[in-house]
Amino acid sequence: MENMVNVFLFGKKYAVPDNLTIMRAMEYAGYELVRGCGCRNGFCGACATIYRIKGDRELKACLACQTKVEDNMYIATLPFFPLVKQVYDIENIPTTEQVMMQLYPEIYACIGCNACTKSCTQGLNVMQYISYAQRGDFAACAEESFDCVMCGVCSSRCPAGISHPQVGMLARRINGKYLAPGCDHLENRVREIQDGTFTELIESLMQKPVEEMKELYNNRDIEK
């Protein structure tokens, strides 16, 4: 017999096996997940979830596909959080802190509460990369925010209304286009793809069975 635990999904009590993730527990309980389920492996950020364990005052955040259920876990998902997403032309944009003042001025209202960092599902130092963005240090901001999955949990906890994932995305775009050193090898490969050098090879691979594809992938030559 499976060990069962009690969980509360949106306030309703269910008994589910204790070895399930929150996402699998929802499906076990009868929920049909058509949104907020993405890749199911922990890196798309679509299954942002908040929960609290009975008797514990702390409200915690996680990704439902990564986190196992616990007894007396009260759960609510956040399949979408309304982040502010400004429109800009990356081909014509300043590369100093002026761009943040223009597009995301709310970052200068940060009160340093660190709620964003504490709630990050990836364990990122969110407040630190916002600090880098404030100073116009986009290379450091890009590095610190690199693993952001855009789930929006940090913004849901921010009293200043900062859209942290969008700020990090802008910094990474500026860094990638204007600040990071070029890579001739990558640029040449992109040109080869655009010129059709690999079209025949790609089409032949697409015709292969999945198991053969896995075998080719697992035994591929990896460049040092």
Query: Roughly how many angstroms between the first and final C-alpha of the chain, as a whole number?
Result: 49
pTM: 0.77
Q: What are the counts of helices (DSSP H) followed by strands (DSSP E) for the chain?
A: 10, 5
* Share above pLDDT 90 across residues of the chain, in percent, rounded to a whole number: 72
Q: Alpha-carbon distance 8 to 83, whole Å? A: 27
pLDDT score for 179: 94
Residue 66, exposed/middle/buried by CB under 10 A (0-12, 13-18, 19+)? middle
DSSP label at 95?
A: -
Please state the rounded mean pLDDT for residues 122-135: 96
Mean predicted lDDT score pLDDT of the chain: 92
Q: Alpha-carbon distance 69 to 17, whole Å? A: 8
pLDDT surpassing 70 at residue 41 = no
Amino acid (1-letter code) at residue 180: A
- Identify the structural domains of the chain with CATH numbers, from first to last: 4-77 (3.10.20.30), 81-207 (1.10.1060)
User: 164-174 and 126-135 are packed helices; what angle lies between their axes, rounded to 10 degrees?
Assistant: 50
Comparing CA positions, the residue from 143, 100, 141, 120 lying closest to residue 60 is 120
Strand pairing class (4-9; 48-53): unpaired
* Share above pLDDT 70 across residues of the chain, in percent, rounded to a whole number: 98
- Helix ranges (H only) for 86-207 are 98-103, 115-119, 126-135, 138-144, 153-156, 164-174, 184-194, 199-206
3-state secondary structure of 1: coil
